[in-house]
Amino acid sequence: MTGFPHWYTEGLEHIWLPYTQMKTATPPLPVISADGVRLTLADGRRLIDGISSWWAAAHGYNNPHITAAMKAQIDTMPHVMFGGLVNEPALTLATRLAGLLPGDLNRVFIAESGSVSVEVAMKMAAQYFMNRGEKRSKFVHFRGTYHGDTLGTMAVCDPEEGMHGMFAGMLAKNILADLPKTVAEAEAFTVFLKKNAHDVAAVITEPLVQGAGGMRFFEPETLRWLRAACDEAGVLLVVDEIFTGFYRTGTRFAIEQAGIVPDMVTLSKGLSGGVTPLSACIARETVFEAFYDDSPTKALMHGPTYMGHALGCAAANASLDLYEQADYGVRVAAIETQLKAELAPCRTLPNVKDVRVKGAIGVVQLADASGLERLKPLFVEKGVWIRPFRDIVYLTPPMVIEPDDLSVLTAAINSVLAGV
Ligand SMILES: *Cc1c(COP(=O)(O)O)cnc(C)c1O
């Protein structure tokens, strides 16, 4: 690319990029604007976004309703501290999320990032038992799962496949298990959980899709088995909907497909529609009650500086309006049908191991992933932003994408993988 802007060449000498070997990596692309499902690069090229900015930009970019809500909020009050003070967007968001989530998931803690909301859920679980006079220090987590990059959440990610293997020695010791996929495995899991319950605060899982672990799908009955096992063992269940929440798997929340009520749910990514950092940990009344006491030491001991961020919550409320106004379930069903039809031809390509689609997630898994890095620039040449990782080439497009643009994305995958 020619004509790099000044801020780009200068800034690359100072910025530290994520998951990137700065010495050998292909330089990142400078984006100067985004609109709808398109990103505009500094040299004028436009790319259709197949990834939704790490799965967050559900409504596409620069949605006028979200922008207007944020502009109004910024002129009134971008933020005030959440200790001793509250603000309208945060309280409205809490009321709305409590209304959207099933059962008595009614208490909403609003933080800034997904990882932090998982940390909060873990802390809630541990302190829930402390407040009841029990010390339980461990979490049961599953192979193939991802819950964040902070030290606490790293300790509930897959220890081998995750990006965190080298830190193993300094992480909290938790209990790794396999997700039960059959009745027999579910029974074995229940026995195992009951045996360890005295030291286990919570079981934590992603629902229906293990995202960063490689877009692996599992059935709703697995979630029902986990709920039943936790009930029987007297252990809390945390479901991390940071990726799946807000229609990515077809329903508003993935847990709806299993009909379960977890003890805590974490949300982020689609919550603000990819516009501002924002997350939430929503707990059941039964969890909240263990903290509700005359003793100050039983209060939840957590409070990020930017929690309950007014501007972020205004964006999230506008994002929730959009999910309510248009039927995203119907949209995602159409995307699913199209992804299934248009990715199916990949099955016949020599290096393809599996093709799978759930909701607005389309995955082509490769048999040999050694050439993955070489594919990335080929997608840019085709005018699309697709970022393969591990052994998969995948799409998580904005849910507002039109059929023609989605076809450009699937055609790019078909032709790049076919070596055309
Ligand atoms: C992205 C993600 C996280 C971490 O969220 P951050 O905002 O990146 O900290 C946690 N859990 C799941 C399931 C995720 O997909």
Which residue from 118, 142, 60 is spatially nearest to 283, judged by alpha carbons? 118
- For residue 118, which atom of ligand 1 is closest to its CA? 10
Q: Whose CA is nearest to atom 10 of ligand 1?
A: 147
Is the C-alpha dihedral spanning 27, 210, 49, 322 positive or negative?
negative
Instruction: Give the model confidence (pLDDT) of 88-124 as tens digits.
Output: 999 999 999 999 999 999 999 999 999 999 999 999 9
**Percent of the chain's residues with pLDDT above 90:** 94
- pLDDT value, residue 3: 74
Cβ contact 241:119 at 8 Å: no
Q: Which residues are catalytic?
A: 19, 146, 240, 269
Residue positions in the annotated binding site? 54, 114-115, 146, 240, 269, 303-305, 387
Q: How confident is the model at residue 2 (pLDDT cuts 50, 70, 90)?
A: low
Instruction: Give the model confidence (pLDDT) of 381-396 as tens digits.
Output: 999 999 999 999 999 9
- pLDDT value, residue 132: 96
CA distance 387 to 131: 45
Q: Which residues pair with 365 in a beta bridge?
A: 354, 392
From ligand 1's centre to the CA of 181, what distance in Å? 24
Cβ of 147 closer than 6 Å to ligand 1, yes or no, is yes
- For residue 153, which atom of ligand 1 is closest to its CA? 10
Instruction: Give the model confidence (pLDDT) of 201-256 as tens digits.
Output: 999 999 999 999 999 999 999 999 999 999 999 999 999 999 999 999 999 999 99
Alpha-carbon separation of residue 347 from 99, 354, 363, 413, 419 (angstroms): 42, 7, 11, 12, 14
Pocket residue to mutate for ligand 1, from 206, 210, 242, 276, most atoms within 8 A of Cβ = 242
Cβ contact 335:359 at 8 Å: yes
From ligand 1's centre to the CA of 146, what distance in Å? 7
Cβ of 146 closer than 6 Å to ligand 1, yes or no, is yes
Instruction: Give the model confidence (pLDDT) of 14-34 as tens digits.
Output: 999 999 999 999 899 999 999
- pLDDT value, residue 161: 74
- pLDDT value, residue 205: 98
Full-model pTM = 0.97
Residue positions in the annotated binding site for substrate? 54, 146, 269, 303, 387
Instruction: Give the model confidence (pLDDT) of 306-361 as tens digits.
Output: 999 999 999 999 999 999 999 999 999 999 999 999 999 999 999 999 999 999 99
Q: How confident is the model at residue 179 (pLDDT cuts 50, 70, 90)?
A: very high
- pLDDT value, residue 1: 47
Cβ contact 375:366 at 8 Å: no
Helix residue ranges, H only, 178-299: 183-196, 220-233, 255-258, 285-289
